[in-house]
């Protein structure tokens, strides 16, 4: 049979095959995209942070752990969702800490937490004060600043070079950075580390039941993907 004959036979076969497919399955590209959009999970909606606070959190964590060739960033792994969900837990309400005064904000760190704000209240107060500072210095909220200026503001908070009226700037930065790292590396069941992205990046096996055979094999790459506490496999 000639090449032309083969092509004709293939076209005839495809026409016959398509004729046996129910019409419901013959969708065009637009219909397929619409179907996928309907089944895709809706974007996470914060349950604690308001609009301005949510915009701040997203912008800040993106600067603390930006995406790069080395691996995914904080936004890629849904770190803001982790932080928001933590604000509704006993931790967020400060129920795990001694929260009765007197407080001495100038005390040494060895004396423990010395702020009258539980984490959720700390974020509410500190974000409002930081945005007010950004408005004063730059005429915009933090989330609307360019990346270089955002880095500058975060650096000033980290080094205590700016004064916030209700809380020490460095205390806010410590809280923000700690929660960002927790959301980046925690088990996905808590809202961050989407698809165990950070674990795959560093080769962490997660909650696998047994990997003792690899503990002493220094310098070798662990060959299996991580497993979450709920049994999800990467």
Q: Where are the domains of the chain?
A: 3-39, 51-201
Written as tens digits, the pLDDT of the chain (234 aa) is 454 454 455 445 434 443 443 444 344 555 545 544 555 568 899 999 999 999 999 999 999 999 999 999 999 999 999 999 999 999 999 998 888 888 887 777 677 778 889 999 999 999 999 999 999 999 999 999 999 999 999 999 999 999 999 999 999 999 999 999 999 999 999 999 999 999 999 988 888 877 778 788 888 887 888 999 998 988
**Would you state the pLDDT for residue 153?**
98
Report the distance separating Cα 18 and Cα 163, nearest Å: 70
Each residue of 157-181: b (16+ CB within 10 Å) or e?
Answer: beeeebebeebbbbbbbebbbebbb
CA angle 150–152–156, rounded 5-degree value: 115
Query: In the Cβ-directed half-sphere of 176, how many Cα atoms lie within 13 Å?
Result: 29
**Would you state the pLDDT for residue 8?**
52
| Cα→Cα distances 9→6, 17, 188, 196, 231, Å | 5, 12, 52, 48, 49
Report the distance separating Cα 127 and Cα 167, nearest Å: 10
Which phi and psi angles does 206 have, rounded to 5°?
75, -135
**Would you state the pLDDT for residue 10?**
44
**Would you state the pLDDT for residue 216?**
87
Instruction: Give this prediction's pTM.
Output: 0.80
Per the structure block, which two tokens stand in for 5?
Answer: 């004959």
Q: Alpha carbon 164 to chain centroid distance?
A: 26
**Would you state the pLDDT for residue 26?**
40
ω into residue 198 within 30 of 0, thus cis?
no
**Would you state the pLDDT for residue 23?**
43
């Amino acid at each position: 049979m000639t090449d032309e004959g083969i092509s004709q036979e293939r076209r005839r076969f495809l026409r016959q095959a398509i004729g046996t497919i129910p019409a419901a399955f013959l969708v065009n590209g637009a219909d397929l995209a619409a179907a996928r959009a309907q089944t895709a999970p809706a974007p996470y909606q914060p349950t604690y942070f308001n609009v301005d606070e949510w915009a701040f959190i997203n912008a800040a964590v993106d600067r603390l752990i930006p995406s790069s060739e080395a691996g995914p960033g904080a936004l890629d792994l849904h770190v803001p969702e982790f932080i928001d969900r933590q604000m509704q837990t006993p931790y967020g309400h400060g129920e795990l800490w001694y929260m009765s005064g007197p407080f001495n904000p100038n005390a040494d760190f060895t004396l423990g937490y010395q702020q009258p704000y539980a984490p959720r209240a700390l974020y509410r107060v500190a974000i409002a004060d930081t945005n007010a500072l950004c408005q004063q210095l730059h005429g915009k909220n933090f989330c609307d600043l360019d990346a270089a200026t955002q880095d500058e503001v975060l650096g000033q908070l980290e080094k205590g070079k700016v004064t916030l009226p209700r809380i020490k700037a460095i205390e806010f930065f410590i809280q923000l950075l700690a929660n960002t790292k927790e959301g980046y590396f925690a088990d996905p069941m808590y809202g961050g580390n989407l698809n165990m992205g950070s674990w795959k990046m560093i080769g962490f096996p997660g909650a696998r039941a047994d990997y003792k055979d690899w503990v002493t094999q220094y310098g070798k790459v662990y060959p299996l993907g991580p497993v979450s506490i709920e049994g999800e496999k990467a």
